[in-house]
A and B are shown apart, each in its own frame.
Chain A
Amino acid sequence: MDPMDFDQNGMARLGLVSFNEEEVSSTNRLRQEIRTLHQAAEITADLVIHQFEKTEAILAKFQATSGQLQAVLDAASQIAIIATDLTGSITLFNRGAEVMLGYLACEVIGRMTPLDLHHIEDFSSSVTLEKLIHLATSEQGAIQEWLYRRKDGQSLPVTVSVTPLLGSNRHHVGFLWVAMDITPLKQAEEQLRRSNVELQRLDKLKSDLLSSVSHELRTPLTSIRGFAQLIRREFDRTFAATPEDDVKRRTKSSRIQDNLDIILTESERLTRLINEVLDLAKIESGRIEWHKVHFSLQEAILQAVNAVQGQFAGLANVALETNLPSSPLMVDADKDRMVQVLVNLLNNAAKFIQAGYVRVSAIRQPDGWVRVEVQDTGCGFPPEQAETIFDKFQQVHRNDTLVDKPQGTGLGLSICREIVLFHGGRIWATSVPGQGSTFSLTLPLLAQSEESDLMAESELLSNHTIHDTPVAPSVNECSEQNTQKSLPLVLVIDDDANVCTYLNLLFLEQGYRVMTARDGQEGLEMARLHHPDLITLDLAMPVLDGRQTMVHLHQDPKLSQIPVIVLSAMPDFDQVGGSVAMSKPIDEQRLLLGMRLLLLGRKQDLGVESMPCLALNEPVPLASNRLPGIIRVGDVVYCDREELLRRVGEGFKGLVTVPTEALHSMDGTFWEQLSSLDVLILPAAQKEEIDYV
């Protein structure tokens, strides 16, 4: 039975007792309403419960997420994470922020803004939170370096990045401030700065000390050296034993002289050491004055070779050789310093060699660089020392520093390295112990176009190379020293006395007879009178220059057959004609080879072996008469570049001739492949071709 019915019946029964019929019908309506309400309430309660359970589940889920988030925020104790709403009021202050800034989250949330975390004096008084936010967010992803103020008033260097915080509906709801404590970084920076300052101070102190010590050392050294020399002289003049003295006295006397010499050589060594220490200190501290000029490397190499002649003169079984290309290798460098490097490398080579050769080569690299090599057949060094030998006071062959006395100061190679590095180059060494070592350095070359401009300049410089050669008796005196008619007669026409002396000596050494003329006019007269077998001709000369002299030589049927070697530093040295043209500075080897070949064309009795010849005949085809005097040397093969390189690649040994016209069209690879061969550059064809023999 429905309980409602039961109730209804019960009420009805009551109504029957106390209410009339009208009252009974209204009671029924009310009952109906109550019943409806009751049902509605039940449905609502269900709904509420359902809704509550759902909400609870969501809440639980949210709490879990927020726990993770909190964990993340707390774990980031090294990073302060602060969130603000749009007004700047802080809404989140993580554990890291608490630790870093000394505030509790509850002290700041809703009570402070990020502006309160700054030393207000760090900003101008007008700074507002808006400006701060603008400053921080004006650059995308920019990190600001600020000084925060902790609760206890202490300053804290921080990096801060501020990013806009977006709500669920992608609306801008606030900002996220992430700050990192950079105190350790700042401390490290400061420490680094301080040690840097200290290092600079010490470095300057070291340089100053070296400079002043070496300066101070000079004064006593001057006395030691000077007085030793005075005593030596005085002794030799006044006290030295004479042959009439007894043996004992003579022995003592020569002992004293030897000992004084020891003082002198040792004081010179000390002087050198002081100079090198000072040099290195100056280079290292950047206080050296560099004097960069344009010059040809050949020039510097020959100068260096001349400077070490004395040292090599004592090494009877060692040949000092150069292998240099004839076209000038122009560089922009400190010439004296480069010579210093080369002298140093040559000195070094001389120290560790007993027999064989020391060879200086310069090789043009295809990339606009040049490589200079000093190769020796000395004792070499262990390969693992290739790097360290350039370090200060490092020397090879010093297993026992007490026994193996160092030769030199141990600073030479360090100085070389510093100098080469300054010029943008590289220096290194290779060795096969027992067989020899090679020291190589690279330098950037000047651009090709500048080279020809500078060739005139190199004529001036060329005098240096012969400056140190022993001065011969006056040129004319030795002109006809060797009067044996059978020997070839060479006429040197050059207005430079040094060049004349030099060539005179060089040719006499070769067993030629030599005559010299100081201008073209004199040269022509001598040629007509003596009919030389060969003429070397300078171009820039007084009275009659080389160009005009050449024309006269061509026009005179008796003289036109004499081979002429043009030797000049003029840029167009190879445009004048002649049998062979060579630029100054003079490459001895090439000159002598050219002479031998030219003379061989005239006289077969020089004992020169027949030599195969490859003649490049492009871009201009070479007629056979373009190889005057050489034609009879041996087989001449005329070929183009490709064919020539092929033959060279196949191991051709002999002479290669290249016409002047081809000089500019041939690249570095071409020359590199010819580097081991003798190359003759043939002068440009004359308008009026001359008939040689």
Chain B
Amino acid sequence: MFKVVIVDDEVHIRALLEQTMEELEEEFEFEILTAANGGDGLAAIQREHPRLVFLDVMMPVMNGYDVCAAVRADSSLDETKVVMLTAKGQETDRQRGMSVGVNHFITKPFDPDEIVNLAREILGS
């Protein structure tokens, strides 16, 4: 069974992502875990070895870049795909994200369909 970890300090965004992912429940068997800050998020990722991580950038304890860098430094997490949630047009954010090994970027405010399509692609591959 796939694990999906959602790391975002905004409770509503976590709920939105969780509910959005329900769309895929019939296609894939997966379990969703959430974390409200970067530190808890990294711990969850290292414990659960998820297939997919939704990662916010600005968060308490540990920001998204540092979480992703830590994930990429762990070779046992090579299969984990990281989707970063960024603000639109922040080219520097994107470059920084790319440099720490982010796989995909989704800009806020995002379209739930975008999330579904991307998650389907990742879980299906």
Q: Do residues B19 and A215 form an inter-chain contact, with CB atoms below 8 A?
A: no
> In the bound complex, how far is the Cα of B81 from the Cα of A575, in angstroms?
51
User: B124 in the interface, Cβ–Cβ < 8 Å?
Assistant: no
Q: Chain B nearest CB: distance from A267 CB in Å?
A: 7
Q: Do residues B112 and A218 form an inter-chain contact, with CB atoms below 8 A?
A: no
**Chain B residue at minimum C-beta to C-beta distance from A287:** B92
User: A222 in the interface, Cβ–Cβ < 8 Å?
Assistant: yes
- Pick the residue among A214, A226, A267, A282 that contacts B112 (CB under 8 A): A226
Q: Chain B nearest CB: distance from A567 CB in Å?
A: 35
Q: Do residues A230 and B88 form an inter-chain contact, with CB atoms below 8 A?
A: no
> In the bound complex, how far is the Cα of B20 from the Cα of A171, in angstroms?
98
- A275-B89, A278-B88, A289-B91 given as contacts; is B108 within 8 A of A222 (CB)? yes
Q: Do residues B109 and A221 form an inter-chain contact, with CB atoms below 8 A?
A: yes
User: A271 in the interface, Cβ–Cβ < 8 Å?
Assistant: yes
**Chain A residue at minimum C-beta to C-beta distance from B22:** A230
- A215-B87, A218-B87 given as contacts; is B16 within 8 A of A230 (CB)? yes
**Chain B residue at minimum C-beta to C-beta distance from A291:** B91
User: B29 in the interface, Cβ–Cβ < 8 Å?
Assistant: no
> In the bound complex, how far is the Cα of B121 from the Cα of A655, in angstroms?
53
Of B10, B92, B108, most buried by chain A (CB within 10 Å of CB) is B108
Q: Do residues A223 and B12 form an inter-chain contact, with CB atoms below 8 A?
A: yes
Q: Do residues A229 and B112 form an inter-chain contact, with CB atoms below 8 A?
A: yes
User: B26 in the interface, Cβ–Cβ < 8 Å?
Assistant: no
Q: Do residues A222 and B110 form an inter-chain contact, with CB atoms below 8 A?
A: yes
> In the bound complex, how far is the Cα of B108 from the Cα of A224, in angstroms?
12
- A226-B20, A275-B89, A278-B88 given as contacts; is B112 within 8 A of A219 (CB)? no
- Pick the residue among A220, A222, A225, A278 that contacts B89 (CB under 8 A): A278
> In the bound complex, how far is the Cα of B22 from the Cα of A227, in angstroms?
13
Q: How many residues does chain A have at the interface if contact means C-beta atoms less than 8 Å apart? A: 21
Q: Do residues B20 and A230 form an inter-chain contact, with CB atoms below 8 A?
A: yes
User: A334 in the interface, Cβ–Cβ < 8 Å?
Assistant: no
Contact with B along A381-396 (1 / 0, CB 8 A): 0000000000000000
Instruction: Enumerate chain B residues within 8 angstroms of A218, measured Cβ to Cβ.
Output: 87-88, 108-109
> In the bound complex, how far is the Cα of B111 from the Cα of A221, in angstroms?
11
User: B13 in the interface, Cβ–Cβ < 8 Å?
Assistant: yes
**Chain A residue at minimum C-beta to C-beta distance from B92:** A289
Q: Do residues B89 and A267 form an inter-chain contact, with CB atoms below 8 A?
A: no
Q: Do residues B20 and A219 form an inter-chain contact, with CB atoms below 8 A?
A: no
Instruction: Enumerate chain B residues within 8 angstroms of A215, measured Cβ to Cβ.
Output: 87
> In the bound complex, how far is the Cα of B13 from the Cα of A227, in angstroms?
10
Per the 8 Å Cβ criterion, residues 87-125 of B in contact with A are: 87-89, 91-92, 108-113
Instruction: Enumerate chain B residues within 8 angstroms of A224, measured Cβ to Cβ.
Output: 109
User: A457 in the interface, Cβ–Cβ < 8 Å?
Assistant: no
User: A279 in the interface, Cβ–Cβ < 8 Å?
Assistant: yes
Instruction: Enumerate chain B residues within 8 angstroms of A267, measured Cβ to Cβ.
Output: 109
Instruction: Enumerate chain A residues within 8 angstroms of B111, measured Cβ to Cβ.
Output: 225-226, 229
> In the bound complex, how far is the Cα of B109 from the Cα of A161, in angstroms?
66
**Chain A residue at minimum C-beta to C-beta distance from B17:** A226
**Chain B residue at minimum C-beta to C-beta distance from A274:** B88
Q: Do residues B108 and A219 form an inter-chain contact, with CB atoms below 8 A?
A: yes
Q: Chain A nearest CB: distance from B10 CB in Å?
A: 5
Q: Do residues A279 and B108 form an inter-chain contact, with CB atoms below 8 A?
A: no
Instruction: Enumerate chain B residues within 8 angstroms of A227, measured Cβ to Cβ.
Output: 12, 16, 19
> In the bound complex, how far is the Cα of B10 from the Cα of A641, in angstroms?
71
> In the bound complex, how far is the Cα of B108 from the Cα of A223, in angstroms?
10
Per the 8 Å Cβ criterion, residues 391-435 of A in contact with B are: none
> In the bound complex, how far is the Cα of B89 from the Cα of A227, in angstroms?
23
Q: Do residues A226 and B109 form an inter-chain contact, with CB atoms below 8 A?
A: yes
> In the bound complex, how far is the Cα of B7 from the Cα of A216, in angstroms?
18
Q: Do residues B109 and A225 form an inter-chain contact, with CB atoms below 8 A?
A: yes
- A229-B112, A230-B112, A267-B109 given as contacts; is B88 within 8 A of A222 (CB)? no
Instruction: Enumerate chain A residues within 8 angstroms of B108, measured Cβ to Cβ.
Output: 218-219, 221-222
Other than the given A226-B109, A226-B111, 6 more pairs (CB < 8 A) read A221-B108, A226-B16, A226-B20, A227-B19, A267-B109, A275-B89
**Can you give 21 A-B contacts (C-beta < 8 A)?**
A214-B87, A215-B87, A218-B88, A219-B108, A222-B16, A222-B109, A223-B10, A224-B109, A226-B16, A226-B20, A226-B109, A226-B110, A226-B112, A227-B12, A227-B19, A229-B112, A230-B16, A230-B19, A267-B109, A279-B89, A289-B91
Chain A to chain B: the 7 pairs with minimum beta-carbon distance, closest first: A222-B109, A223-B12, A226-B16, A218-B108, A221-B109, A222-B108, A225-B109
Q: Which residues of B pack against A, CB within 8 Å?
A: 10, 12-13, 16, 19-20, 87-89, 91-92, 108-113
Q: Which residues of A pack against B, CB within 8 Å?
A: 214-215, 218-227, 229-230, 267, 271, 275, 278-279, 282, 289
